[in-house]
Amino acid sequence: MRARPLLALLAALASGAAGCTSEDARGSAPAAAPRASDQGAAAAAPAAVAAAPAGDPARGERLVAELQCNRCHDGTGQAPAARDAHCVQCHQDIAAGRFQAPAAAMKRWNENLVQLRDVPSLAAAGDRLRRDWIRAFLLSPHDVRPRLHATMPRLAIGPEQASDIAAYLTRDRREERERPSAPLEGASAARGRELYEAKGCGTCHAFSGAAGVTAVAPVKGMERETRAAIALAPDLRHARDRMEPADLVAWVLDPAAIKPGTPMPQVPMSPAEARDIAAFVTTAARSPRAPASAPERLPLLSRRVTYAEVDRRVFRVTCRHCHSEPDYALGDGGPGNTGGFGFKPRGLNLATYEGIAAGYVDDQGERRSVFSRGPDGAPRLVAALLARQAEEAGRADPAVRGMPLGLPAVGPEEIQLVESWIAQGRPQ
């Protein structure tokens, strides 16, 4: 399991991309797109998501506020979140040395702050992303940006709410910008592949499933802008589903004209070259994704396991900032305790032995134990950890939200440790 700083879990909610690795809202892979001919690609492959209700932007605006999207994302149309409630800003302040904390703690946190300092802005979403894709992604998040550690969390919303949010985020689409009806007419995917390589697109972007595409290793010690561009670069496997062909051409030509402040650089090219690259990206054959599976569940340990070991290896590195008291979390105590991101306050404090023993508050306001066993016999705490592994394998359980929310699943050895500790009577 990778080490994470104290504040990592909140930052995990910052990514625009989460948990499941399914290709669409139903967890099934989209059909492979046809190859573009060398003579020209008249149109890109159709979106892999089904048409959805238009949604209500006004309701979507209220939902964006209720879900506190501004705690992670800029460009929401909402006022910025308070400094101590802005997950990504917190990490950025730590990285820049602006965070008010002891020097030793700052040094320890910065040793792990590698991929948790960036999050995509939602500005100009309507000029970049298909509304139906946004809706499907909100309902079944998957890993869009493979070089970001954190992913988009699985929020507690349904299809109608997802449609409303998508309608709000795409409300300002600039229809006055000329969008040709056949943006890839005369484009050559073969030339596009050559240009993709020549212009170094693989330095930032993965293109999983596309055979023979060169991936260039990022340079160490890069400028912050370059690092952010690489971290936020989407896997181009999803481009044909996320973007209209005309929008993709405009984006490749001049990203900052669409989304001011974007870390994606403007690479010199002609409109014809932009069309060729878009033709390659949107029509290149992609191999199917290999089926994902959750790790094998390990047997209980026979040796003694104490709270101190579980706390050091699991609770302290993954759980405490979302599930602790405000004085420890240096904020509001985290959404897992005091509520947030659309989730009810659960009063679950994992920062102390006594807090864990006190359990959580259910929907009826009653205290419940995190050690009570579910239908499959797993303690509730263990079930949440296992559910995150299942989410990453594309099998989200609507009845159990996987934890840690928006972070890579806890490894099988760590789950084995927690389960063994519980089975031994939770010794201190």
Cis peptide upstream of residue 260 (ω within 30 degrees of 0): no
SS3 content of the chain, % helix, strand, coil (to 5): 40, 5, 60
Q: What angle do CA 391, 217, 215 make, to 5 degrees?
A: 70
Q: State the pTM of this model.
A: 0.80
Predicted confidence band at 102 (pLDDT cuts at 50, 70, 90)?
confident
> What pLDDT score was predicted for residue 8?
35
Q: Residue 105's CB: how many other CB atoms inside 10 A?
A: 13
> What pLDDT score was predicted for residue 325?
73
Q: How far apart are CA 69 and CA 168, in angstroms?
A: 13
Coil, helix or strand at residue 87: helix
Predicted confidence band at 97 (pLDDT cuts at 50, 70, 90)?
confident
Hunting for tokens 């290709």 — which residue is that? 23
**Stretch 160-173: mean pLDDT:** 95
> What pLDDT score was predicted for residue 196?
96
Query: Which region among 42-46, 344-348, 423-427 has the lowest average model confidence (pLDDT)?
Result: 42-46
> What pLDDT score was predicted for residue 289?
87
**Stretch 371-391: mean pLDDT:** 94
Q: What percent of the chain has pLDDT over 90?
A: 52
> What pLDDT score was predicted for residue 284?
96
> What pLDDT score was predicted for residue 247?
95
Q: Which of 244, 278, 254 is nearest to 126 (CA)?
A: 244
Query: Which region among 9-13, 198-202, 248-252, 253-257 has the lowest average model confidence (pLDDT)?
Result: 9-13
Q: Which of 7-11, 176-180, 236-240 tops mean pLDDT? A: 236-240
Query: Which region among 106-110, 218-222, 348-352 has the lowest average model confidence (pLDDT)?
Result: 218-222
pLDDT reading at 349 higher than 70: yes
pLDDT reading at 116 higher than 50: yes
Is-contact 162 137, C-beta < 8 A? no
> What pLDDT score was predicted for residue 67?
94
pLDDT reading at 15 higher than 50: no
**Stretch 99-107: mean pLDDT:** 73
Q: How far apart are CA 94 and CA 408, in angstroms?
A: 22
Average pLDDT, the chain: 81
Q: Residue 173's CB: how many other CB atoms inside 10 A?
A: 17
For residue 350, what are the CA distances in angstroms to 184, 186, 321, 428?
Answer: 54, 60, 9, 14
Q: How far apart are CA 266 and CA 285, in angstroms?
A: 26
User: Residue 53: beta bridge partners?
Assistant: none
pLDDT top residue among 176 and 335: 335
Q: How far apart are CA 268 and CA 199, in angstroms?
A: 9
> What pLDDT score was predicted for residue 173?
86
Is-contact 41 283, C-beta < 8 A? yes
